Each structure stands twice: as structure tokens, then as C-alpha cells.
Amino acid sequence: MSLFKGIDKVQVSGSGRYVTPGNYVLEVAEVKTFESQKKKGRHFFCVEGVVLSTTAQEYVPGDMVSWLVNITDHESALSNIKNFTMSLSPDMTEADVTPGSVDALCSADQPASGTKVRATAINVQTRSGGDFTKVSWAPYNEA
């Protein structure tokens, strides 16, 4: 019997290298959704990006970081996802962000892959006293 019995039935777990406080220029590598392995029925929206530049001490250019949004449990999830989606193009308006357009971002075609975006992350204290990293997104422009 192989030590790897069952490997064909599991998903790869995330890197755990999340966006931390700082300013970033990222190149989008992948946009996806997935269901939590630990809590069935909990869904996440995930952006993985390559760091092009950052003020965050933990990362250097070339590092991969992830931004997760808990779609199931957080009221602000759709607003945060819309903010990210609008950062993909300076010409995008709120009306351009539809369920279909976000589904397309998460598709196998990966239309956002290679797009540069700006992210600003700050720590915000939650009502329970913990820290939450709030990320604001903006289109990247070379100027």
C-alpha cells in the first residue's frame, strides 16, 4: 500500500502567505473560488498575485501572496470583491461588475491573469479585539 493513498481525492491547501499591512503592486496570477475543507458550506473568493513591489517587510518582489474573502459569513464580502474587480481596469464602472463577470474571472480562462493592480492593506481591530487586514484595491497605472 502506498503512503500516498487518498492523494487523488484531496485539494492542495493554500500557501498561507496572505497580504499583510503595506502597499503593493501585484500581478494577478489566479482568481478562484473554493469551499473550505474544514467547514463544508463555507465558500471563499481568492486572489493570488505575484509581488512586483511592496512596503511590507515580510515580502520581496517575486513572492506569491493570497487575498481571501469569506463569501459565506461576511456581509462586506461582495463589496470587497467588487472593489478588487474594479481595480482590474481603470475604465471599469460599478455597473460593469455583475455575477457573470465575476464568475468569468474565476473561470478556467483566467482573464485577469497577468493584470497589474495596486493594493493597500491596513490592520483594523475587530469588535472582538482581534486584527483584521483590510485591503483596498486600485487600478495600476505606470505613471
- The model carries a pTM of 0.85
Q: What percent of the chain stands above pLDDT 90?
A: 73
Chain-centre distance of CA 111, in angstroms?
A: 15
Q: How many CB atoms lie within 10 A of CB 24?
A: 24
Rg (CA), the chain: 16
CB 105 within 8 A of CB 111: yes
Residue 51 has pLDDT above 70, yes or no: yes
Task: Say which amino acid occupies 130.
Answer: G
pLDDT for res 69: 93
Residue 85 has pLDDT above 80, yes or no: yes
